[in-house]
Amino acid sequence: MIRPAATALFAFLLAACGRDSASPAAPAGTSATAQAANAPSEHFSRNEFYQCGDVPLSLEYRGDGTLTMMLEDRIIVLQAVADSAGVAFADADGNQFRKQEGVELILAGQSPRVCTPI
């Protein structure tokens, strides 16, 4: 004979398994756009850390072709661009991150900085 507590536990576990734990219910009044912006990415991501001259830089490569650069004073999102010599990311403002024979950071309006992994 199954005890009532065991039955309730079993029903709870079945219900929990049917829910996507990575997508909790959104609070009431949350727009679909806000939910999508906060949803976890289903793309591959990888982090790297560099010192580019006087600028510490954290990077998050995303499988969707974007690179998020986290600087001390701002976050910049770059898109992958064609580069026959290596890997490159850029935005319309002139910010660039390139990995060719070396690693280089170019912030809009500034000279290129050589980056070393940290």
Query: What is the value of pTM for the model shown?
Result: 0.61
Q: Tell me, what's the pLDDT at 53? A: 96
Token digits of residue 103: 């690693």
So what's the pLDDT on residue 104? Answer: 97
- Mean pLDDT per 10-residue interval, the chain, length 118 residues: 44 40 43 42 78 97 93 97 92 96 96 97
Fold held by 45-117: Lipocalin (2.40.128)
Alpha helices (runs of H) in the chain, residue ranges in sequence order: 4-18, 32-38
Residue 87: strand pairing partners = 99
Q: How far is CA 4 from the centre of its chain?
A: 46
How many other CB atoms are found less than 10 A from the CB of residue 68? 16
Domain residue extents for the chain = 4-38, 45-117
**Amino acid 97: pLDDT:** 97
Predicted local confidence at residue 78, as pLDDT: 97
